[in-house]
Structure 1
Amino acid sequence: MPQIRLTTLNARYIHSAFGLRYLYANLGELQNEAEILEFGIQDRPIDIVEKLLQHRPKIIGFGVYIWNVAEVGSTVALLKQVAPEIVVILGGPEVSHPPDLPLVAELADYIVTGVGEISFRGLCEQILNGEAPDEKIITGAESPLENLASPYPYYNDEDVRNRIVYVEASRGCPFKCEFCLSALDVTAKPFALDRFLGEMEVLYRRGVRHFKFIDRTFNLKIAVSIAILEFFLERMSDGLFLHFEVIPDHLPDRLKQTLEKFPSATLQFEVGVQTFDPAIQRLISRRQDNEKTKENLRWLKASTHAHIHADLIFGLPGDTLNNFAASFDQLVALQPHEIQLGILKRLRGAPLNRHNETYRMRYNPEPPYNILSTRDIGFDEMQRINRFARYWDMIANSGRFAETLPLILADAPFERFLRLSDALYELSGSTWKIALRRLFDLLYRAMTESLAISKVDAKNVLEADYRKTGEKGLASFMKTEGYEKGKSSRQNRANKRQRSFE
């Protein structure tokens, strides 16, 4: 029976716990005494505890992250009520920066901070040998990457069929952007290329077709990036999909030549723009050539088939509604396929926390610790942008409103979409659980009443998008007066021509 259970609560079933597989791979002889059990944040803590307690392990290790800390806390609290003798070990970024620790840390027997592959194994050996250490917090010991056992064999067949497979060609980041925990890294360290590609070959032969690279800076070492891309080009097949996080201002010609070779629906780039404001960039130690970033985004859109997912953050120190609007409008003009509007969150240990008092950064005390107000942004404004971001996901990022969105944004994207967002909230009272057909009707009202778009123009674009959704029947906006006489101006003209021949 396993004496060690490694577990976490994933955000969704499709995700897999990469960190647990690294811990398991590096347990050495203890691997025979261990197993991985994964759950989701939607699972009930009482059900999780019941499954964890089957065969009564001696040690349970939890991976704790910003997205699951509340649920892990509830689970550990229950576990300690019914089985207080079981040793609970916590690890992960949410518990790696003492004394800034969440409440669940008080319930744990041990906490392993930082990288855990070596230290977790050592701690388990001590506990099972009856030599448990007195200190509660164990500092994770770094290990040369070449000494780590590979996690990839521990993706099982179900993972390969149904889940995202995470891979990493390097660890760390040389940049010091203060909102990111990678700012604490000294530099980026690559895994040995031959070994890494050999592991990717095994995964590919097992049927993996969706590879999500977690490298913070995939295009840092261009020769390595090109070698990895060419590896996958040689194995191009239906369903192959690669996700990379890239530095937006670093696309040398050699890399561009390789990117141009990829067919559509095979590449996704997550491009962290975050802000175009030079003053904020300096304040948060972010090095970014804004003009080169724009040039590269234009090139990616025009010359490759890559899906471009660009990130902006609202609520950084020094941010205001006006300068965020300027960054947003500049990014919209570059036409990435998605713009992810992130609301700043407080990460434990992130250097950005040094600005908390000067800029009066006030965060939600509950996870995910989203920013509530700053010196320059009031709570009401922050709420408006939270709604803006949610509606942007539903309307722009969903891809369902390709005809409608340009009419909404026109020549003032931020200002007009903010007005639309305010109107949608006034009409619906919610940003959640809005049925698609109802969203079309709400958009018709908001566009015609708040943006003063003509009813004919609004109907034409909304109908074109509605027809593509596959929804049956007519939305209410399509039943308004005049619609049955002509569903669009083009149809009206066609009807007139038909009547002239009768």
Structure 2
Amino acid sequence: MKTLLIAINAKYEHESLAVWCLNAACHRHHITTKVQQYSINDSMQRIWASILEETPDVAAFSCYIWNRELIVKLIGDLKKARPECTIIVGGPEVSYDGSEKEFHPIGADFVVKGEGEERLPLILRAIAEQNLNHAKEILEKSVVCTKRDYASPYTAEYLKRIKDRIAYIESSRGCPYRCSYCLSSESTKLEYYPVEIIKEDIRKLVNARAKVIKFVDRSFNVNEEHSLKIWDFIREFENERITFHFEINPDILTKRQMDSLLAMPAGLVQLEAGIQSVNPKTLEAVSRVMKVEKAVENLKTLMSKGNLHIHVDLIAGLPYEDMDSLRESFNTIYQIGAHHLQLGFLKLLHGTRVRREADSHGYKYRDYPPYEVIENKYISSAEMLEIKDIEEALDRTLNSGRFTSTLKYLENYFAEPFYLYKGFAEFLKSRGRLYQPIAAAKLFEYLRNYALQIDGINKLELDSFIALDYACSIKNTVLPEFLKDSDVKALDVKRLLEKIPDFGWKKEYRKRFMVLEGRFPTKMEGKITAVENRIIVDTANIDPVTKRADIRPYGIFTQD
């Protein structure tokens, strides 16, 4: 019997963990399966033809919000082309009451809800024995799935595929929290896998040259000892080209955990912290247990060292969060200074409490994946569109990592950071470019033109930071065309650097170094504390956290 385990990922660089866990579980039961991986960017025809060419007896699909509509089409087409093929569907998008009524009519024979590692092998064995009634009994009896042993999903085949891509790993399963918008809140318990086995798998992924190893554990730092053992272990790989990603609850970080993170080699770890809102009534309504002030304080401390890449999350559309409340949440979270601020939108997922309670908050949301909020009692659809515009401006600027110095400078001209991004969104929209592709150099020009409209703006200071960000992020030592008429100058690096004793000028340094002459003020609490007139950019020396070129005041550089 030929069984395909089919994953359709959101991007090529992602490699589904679920199908490989199922593959490992089946192999433990001596059941042969074959993993087929695609992405939603593959054509429907390519995926369809590839599956048909395998002539499967059983096709098992892993269904998520990003691939549900595609999988629904594939199931229907496959059943018509190969009616004898048994079709199984599982994953978050079928793990809710009544999903069978949606998937059986289109051709699915079995709908597996919840975890599948124990049930899928039993179902496949029953199908092989042509005992379909027993297969259906397995689905109905949850008692067969009480055991949860760890089987490494990282086969030789998997490891060949993962080079320069994102690998997912779980050292625990389940979540201790009950956030009403999250499917993990429906899990019954939190279990940890043996740390020594997880270490072995980490080593496999590092050796296979994965680009990022992303832990899918919810609230990784809940168990202090567990987290510290893994954090201590990964330091071993500081000289490898690898980054480890963890989702944390920042308010419960212990001193030992804080110390461990602050001692990490630069660029080895990135953290994601979901604060979601700072409105107490909102957090209570969604059962989000968090001490916001402590969370913000801890994240600021973690940012201060400069060794960690930090990503914070905010959700628009939560209960009791109107526009004023969202603005306050945005401004509070923005103060952390995180490298990435994700302004997301509530998704009313199947099986979540917030979806069950939708009527009580007047929710209107899309009927199709990802079931995103349109409006509710507290925020109108027009306001939600305005927030979408701000999200777009935020992603193009702050989250791109290209405009760090310019944005920090521009914040001084706005009462709140929220209005900086709101204004830029309106600026781009007025020119018909908000949701259009924009080349990097052109985006710098748009931000400059927007900033030049601000009352009191100092053109020389603005252009100085624009030029600095351009050089640091694009790694280009030539001023962009739109700054050719600016008072900011790119000085002759050969003439300057040749004067430095024992520097040893080389002609390739023209493409490596850039000396900008302008005005670069440092402001604290609205007051200028220092001004540099010359900054040197070294495009060969890249910050492992921000991926930006190194900068130093020219005077300090010459002394060094």
Paired with 1:374 and 1:182, the residues of 2 have a C-alpha distance of: 24
Please tell me whether the aligned partners of residues 409 and 416 of structure 1 are also in contact (alpha carbons under 8 angstroms).
Answer: yes
Deviates more, 1:45-54 or 1:443-452: 443-452
Please tell me whether the aligned partners of residues 280 and 318 of structure 1 are also in contact (alpha carbons under 8 angstroms).
Answer: yes
Match of 1:499 in 2: none
Match of 2:451 in 1: 447
Q: Structure 1 residue aligned with 2:417, among 365, 388, 413?
A: 413
Paired with 2:94 and 2:220, the residues of 1 have a C-alpha distance of: 27
Describe the superposition over 1:300-357 as per-residue Cα deviations: whole angstroms up to 9, x where unpaired. 1124611111111111111111111111111111111211111111111111123311
Please tell me whether the aligned partners of residues 364 and 376 of structure 2 are also in contact (alpha carbons under 8 angstroms).
Answer: yes
Match of 2:247 in 1: 245
Q: Which amino acid aligns with 1:325?
A: R
Deviation at 1:202, TM superposition (A): 4.1
Match of 1:334 in 2: 336
Please tell me whether the aligned partners of residues 488 and 518 of structure 2 are also in contact (alpha carbons under 8 angstroms).
Answer: no
Please tell me whether the aligned partners of residues 316 and 343 of structure 2 are also in contact (alpha carbons under 8 angstroms).
Answer: yes
The 1:456–1:201 alpha-carbon spacing in structure 2 relative to 1, beyond 3 Å, is closer
Paired with 2:28 and 2:366, the residues of 1 have a C-alpha distance of: 43
Deviates more, 1:414-423 or 1:102-111: 102-111
The 1:87–1:259 alpha-carbon spacing in structure 2 relative to 1, beyond 3 Å, is same
- How many residues in Structure 1 have an aligned counterpart in Structure 2? 491
Match of 1:498 in 2: none
Match of 1:57 in 2: 56
Paired with 2:3 and 2:175, the residues of 1 have a C-alpha distance of: 32
Match of 2:550 in 1: none
Match of 1:37 in 2: 36
Please tell me whether the aligned partners of residues 93 and 114 of structure 1 are also in contact (alpha carbons under 8 angstroms).
Answer: yes
Deviation at 1:77, TM superposition (A): 2.7
TM-score by length of 2: 0.81
Match of 1:94 in 2: 93
Q: Which amino acid aligns with 2:131?
A: E
The 1:467–1:63 alpha-carbon spacing in structure 2 relative to 1, beyond 3 Å, is same
Deviation at 1:168, TM superposition (A): 0.9
The 1:483–1:290 alpha-carbon spacing in structure 2 relative to 1, beyond 3 Å, is closer
Deviates more, 1:137-146 or 1:94-103: 137-146
Describe the superposition over 1:36-94 as per-residue Cα deviations: whole angstroms up to 9, x where unpaired. 01001011222212111224111000000011112222222322232222111110001
Deviates more, 1:464-473 or 1:255-264: 464-473
Deviation at 1:488, TM superposition (A): 7.0
Match of 1:122 in 2: 122
Over aligned residue pairs, what C-alpha RMSD do you find?
Answer: 2.8
The 1:467–1:237 alpha-carbon spacing in structure 2 relative to 1, beyond 3 Å, is closer
Residue identity over aligned pairs, in percent, reads 28
Deviation at 1:24, TM superposition (A): 0.8
Report the 3-state secondary structure (helix = DSSP H, G, I; strand = E; otherwise coil) of the residue aligned with 2:392.
helix
Q: Which amino acid aligns with 2:174?
A: G
Paired with 2:463 and 2:187, the residues of 1 have a C-alpha distance of: 53
Please tell me whether the aligned partners of residues 444 and 458 of structure 1 are also in contact (alpha carbons under 8 angstroms).
Answer: yes
Gaps of 5+ in 2: 492-515, 521-532, 535-560
Paired with 2:236 and 2:417, the residues of 1 have a C-alpha distance of: 41
Greater strand share, structure number? 2
Paired with 2:348 and 2:280, the residues of 1 have a C-alpha distance of: 22
Match of 2:483 in 1: 478
Report the 3-state secondary structure (helix = DSSP H, G, I; strand = E; otherwise coil) of the residue aligned with 1:27.
helix
Report the 3-state secondary structure (helix = DSSP H, G, I; strand = E; otherwise coil) of the residue aligned with 1:9.
strand
Paired with 1:299 and 1:472, the residues of 2 have a C-alpha distance of: 34
Paired with 1:91 and 1:197, the residues of 2 have a C-alpha distance of: 29
TM-score by length of 1: 0.90
Match of 2:111 in 1: 111
What is the correspondence of 1:396-411 to structure 2 with a 5 Å cutoff? 396-410=398-412, 411=415
Q: Structure 1 residue aligned with 2:282, among 270, 280, 283?
A: 280
Deviation at 1:265, TM superposition (A): 0.6
Describe the superposition over 1:192-241 as per-residue Cα deviations: whole angstroms up to 9, x where unpaired. 22333333344445555632111002111101111111122234322132
Deviation at 1:299, TM superposition (A): 1.6
Match of 2:322 in 1: 320
Please tell me whether the aligned partners of residues 21 and 154 of structure 1 are also in contact (alpha carbons under 8 angstroms).
Answer: no
Match of 1:426 in 2: 430
Please tell me whether the aligned partners of residues 94 and 102 of structure 1 are also in contact (alpha carbons under 8 angstroms).
Answer: no
The 1:197–1:320 alpha-carbon spacing in structure 2 relative to 1, beyond 3 Å, is same
Q: Which amino acid aligns with 1:172?
A: G
Match of 2:139 in 1: 138
Paired with 2:205 and 2:490, the residues of 1 have a C-alpha distance of: 58
Deviates more, 1:31-40 or 1:85-94: 31-40
Please tell me whether the aligned partners of residues 165 and 210 of structure 2 are also in contact (alpha carbons under 8 angstroms).
Answer: no
Please tell me whether the aligned partners of residues 110 and 136 of structure 1 are also in contact (alpha carbons under 8 angstroms).
Answer: no
Please tell me whether the aligned partners of residues 167 and 205 of structure 2 are also in contact (alpha carbons under 8 angstroms).
Answer: no
Paired with 1:142 and 1:436, the residues of 2 have a C-alpha distance of: 51
Please tell me whether the aligned partners of residues 26 and 32 of structure 2 are also in contact (alpha carbons under 8 angstroms).
Answer: no
Deviation at 1:270, TM superposition (A): 0.7
Please tell me whether the aligned partners of residues 45 and 78 of structure 1 are also in contact (alpha carbons under 8 angstroms).
Answer: no
Deviates more, 1:273-282 or 1:234-243: 234-243
Q: Structure 2 residue aligned with 1:264, among 263, 266, 273?
A: 266
Paired with 2:31 and 2:138, the residues of 1 have a C-alpha distance of: 26
- The structure whose RCO (Cα within 8 Å, separation 6+) is larger is 1
Does 1:167 pair with 2:169?
yes
Paired with 1:120 and 1:485, the residues of 2 have a C-alpha distance of: 64
The 1:9–1:356 alpha-carbon spacing in structure 2 relative to 1, beyond 3 Å, is same
Match of 1:436 in 2: 440
Please tell me whether the aligned partners of residues 315 and 345 of structure 2 are also in contact (alpha carbons under 8 angstroms).
Answer: yes
What is the correspondence of 1:12-31 to structure 2 with a 5 Å cutoff? 12-28=11-27
Report the 3-state secondary structure (helix = DSSP H, G, I; strand = E; otherwise coil) of the residue aligned with 1:302.
helix
Paired with 1:443 and 1:290, the residues of 2 have a C-alpha distance of: 32
Does 1:356 pair with 2:362?
no
The 1:353–1:154 alpha-carbon spacing in structure 2 relative to 1, beyond 3 Å, is farther
What is the correspondence of 1:172-191 to structure 2 with a 5 Å cutoff? 172-191=174-193
Match of 1:497 in 2: none
Please tell me whether the aligned partners of residues 25 and 31 of structure 1 are also in contact (alpha carbons under 8 angstroms).
Answer: no
Q: Which amino acid aligns with 2:366?
A: N
Match of 1:500 in 2: none
The 1:452–1:475 alpha-carbon spacing in structure 2 relative to 1, beyond 3 Å, is farther
Report the 3-state secondary structure (helix = DSSP H, G, I; strand = E; otherwise coil) of the residue aligned with 1:444.
helix
The 1:346–1:450 alpha-carbon spacing in structure 2 relative to 1, beyond 3 Å, is farther
Q: Which amino acid aligns with 2:450?
A: A
Q: Which amino acid aligns with 1:126?
A: A
Q: Which amino acid aligns with 1:478?
A: L
Report the 3-state secondary structure (helix = DSSP H, G, I; strand = E; otherwise coil) of the residue aligned with 2:41.
coil
Q: Which amino acid aligns with 2:145?
A: E
Report the 3-state secondary structure (helix = DSSP H, G, I; strand = E; otherwise coil) of the residue aligned with 2:452.
helix
Q: Which amino acid aligns with 2:217?
A: D
Paired with 1:252 and 1:480, the residues of 2 have a C-alpha distance of: 53
Paired with 1:41 and 1:384, the residues of 2 have a C-alpha distance of: 28
Please tell me whether the aligned partners of residues 168 and 215 of structure 1 are also in contact (alpha carbons under 8 angstroms).
Answer: yes
Paired with 1:354 and 1:260, the residues of 2 have a C-alpha distance of: 41
Paired with 1:137 and 1:384, the residues of 2 have a C-alpha distance of: 49
Q: Which amino acid aligns with 1:279?
A: K
Deviation at 1:174, TM superposition (A): 0.8
Please tell me whether the aligned partners of residues 162 and 208 of structure 2 are also in contact (alpha carbons under 8 angstroms).
Answer: yes
Please tell me whether the aligned partners of residues 317 and 355 of structure 1 are also in contact (alpha carbons under 8 angstroms).
Answer: no
Deviation at 1:256, TM superposition (A): 2.2
Deviates more, 1:255-264 or 1:281-290: 255-264
Report the 3-state secondary structure (helix = DSSP H, G, I; strand = E; otherwise coil) of the residue aligned with 2:385.
helix
